Structure 1
Amino acid sequence: MSAQYDQIGEKVAGWDVLPVRSEYIEGHTFFKALGSVEGQTVLDLACGDGLYTRQLKARGAHRVVGVDISEEMIGVARRQDEAEPLGIEYRVSDVADMAPLGAFDCVTAVYLLHYAHSPEHLLRMCRNIHAHVKPGGRFVTYAFNPGFSAKGPNSTRYGITMLDFPESPREGQEISAELHTKSPFTIHFSYWSRATHEQALREAGFQNLTWIRPDCSPEGISRYGREFWQDYLDNPHGVALRCER
């Protein structure tokens, strides 16, 4: 995963303005699932260029640490913080091998678990995430939707195309998606079923797992109309997942 994002570099910034990103679908759903972070400590994993890391700080989090496996992505995030200092700490690490950073009120991750390359790697990720959540805290992620259907409405009009997505994907099968930004790029990740996600998370110690389908913000409906979003909401490429410790 590190290599592909090191190569993509600042192209990811163009991803942040796609219709399904930020406040309209993804960000709106993610922050609803997360709840208030006012005065809390937050560890943001797979933080990329810091899009949501900065928003967590802006929403009142007391301490925010961003971690990503890609040195290039962390470099972009740090340059953003230098230009507009928010006091965010950024680290480079594979979540599965991450050194202890303390216990946090919540751990977040927008697009992380599907980058596990094996069930064992996924379990190591989940165990390390659990180790960083305070008792009574939560882990909230926005993940590739295990229920995405090749037969369902296509998401191309929203800026994302699933490439040759199989009708019945296998566990661990490589999946590719093209992002239609100003400088288009393709990402590759692994398919893991809902059951595989839940098994790893529960074995790591999480409980009360809640899958949350995406919803559109009032701003998104006002700008594009509800009909525009319906195909995506019927067959979203991503969903939120909230877990408690």
Structure 2
Amino acid sequence: MAAQYDDIAVKLSDWDVLPVRSEYLEGHTFFKALGSVKGQSVLDLACGDGLYTRQLQARGAHRVAGVDISEEMIRVARQHEAAQPLGIEYHVSDVADMAPLGVFDCVTAVYLLHYASSPEHLLRMCRSIHAHLKPGGRFVTYTFNPGFSAKGPNSTRYGITMLDFPESPREGQGISAELHAKTPFTIHFSHWSRDTYERALREAGFHRLTWMRPECSPEGIARYGQEFWQDYLDNPHAVALRCER
């Protein structure tokens, strides 16, 4: 995973403006699932170039740390921090083998769990996340939709295309998606069922797992209309998941 993101780091700034990643859809859903972080400590995993890490700090978190497996993505994140210091710390690590960074009120991860290479790797990720949370803390993630359907509406118009997606994907099957940024690029990850995710999370110690389908914000509907978003909302490529410690 590190290698693919090292290669595409400079292209991800274009990805952030695609409809599928917009504040109207992904950002709106993610922050609704997360709730207020004002005065809280937040560990942002799979932080990439710090897109959401910086937003967490802007929303009033008193301590924010970002972690990503890609050295190149963290290099870009640190460039943002150097240009506009916010007090955010960044670390390079595989979440499954992450050194202790303290305990946090909440842990976030936009696009992380579906990069697990096996159920055992997924469990190690979940245990590491759990260990970084205070009692009563929450883990909120945005991950590939286990229920995505090859027969459902295609999400190409929103900036992403699933490549040769099978009608009945196997557990752990490799999946590829093309992102239609200014310079298109392809990402690769693994398909895991909802049961596999939940089994790993519960074994790691989480409870009250709440899945949330994407929602479009009132601003997004006002700008583009409900009809524009409907195909994606009917068959989203990713969903939010909130877990309580």
TM-score normalised by the shorter chain: which range applies?
over 0.9
Distance 2:119 2:204 in 1: 12
CA deviations 1:140-183 (Å, max 9, x no partner) are: 00000000000000000000000000000000000000000001
Aligned residue type for 1:109: A
Aligned residue type for 2:16: D
Aligned residue type for 2:219: E
Distance 2:222 2:58 in 1: 24
Q: Give the 5 Å matches for 1:108-127.
A: 108-127=108-127
Aligned residue type for 1:231: D
Counterpart of 1:66 in structure 2 is 66
Aligned residue type for 1:183: T
Distance 2:84 2:220 in 1: 27
Distance 2:237 2:187 in 1: 13
Say which SS state the counterpart of residue 24 (structure 1) adopts.
Answer: helix
Counterpart of 1:25 in structure 2 is 25
2:130 is the counterpart of 1:130: yes
Counterpart of 2:217 in structure 1 is 217
Aligned residue type for 2:128: N
Aligned residue type for 1:177: A
Say which SS state the counterpart of residue 31 (structure 2) adopts.
Answer: helix
Q: TM-score, normalised by structure 2?
A: 0.99
Say which SS state the counterpart of residue 91 (structure 1) adopts.
Answer: strand
Q: Give the 5 Å matches for 1:88-103.
A: 88-103=88-103
Unaligned runs of 5+ in 2: none
Counterpart of 1:5 in structure 2 is 5
Distance 1:139 1:61 in 2: 15
Say which SS state the counterpart of residue 53 (structure 2) adopts.
Answer: helix
Distance 2:13 2:98 in 1: 25
Distance 1:105 1:72 in 2: 28
Cα offset, 1:22, TM superposition:
3.3
Counterpart of 2:191 in structure 1 is 191
Cα offset, 1:83, TM superposition:
1.0
Counterpart of 2:147 in structure 1 is 147
2:75 is the counterpart of 1:75: yes
Cα root mean square deviation, aligned: 0.5
Unaligned runs of 5+ in 1: none
- Give the ranges of 4+ consecutive aligned residues of structure 1 lying more than 4 Å apart after TM superposition: none
Count of matched residue positions in the alignment of Structure 1 and Structure 2: 245
Counterpart of 1:104 in structure 2 is 104
Q: TM-score, normalised by structure 1?
A: 0.99
Aligned residue type for 1:89: E
Say which SS state the counterpart of residue 122 (structure 1) adopts.
Answer: helix
Say which SS state the counterpart of residue 33 (structure 1) adopts.
Answer: helix
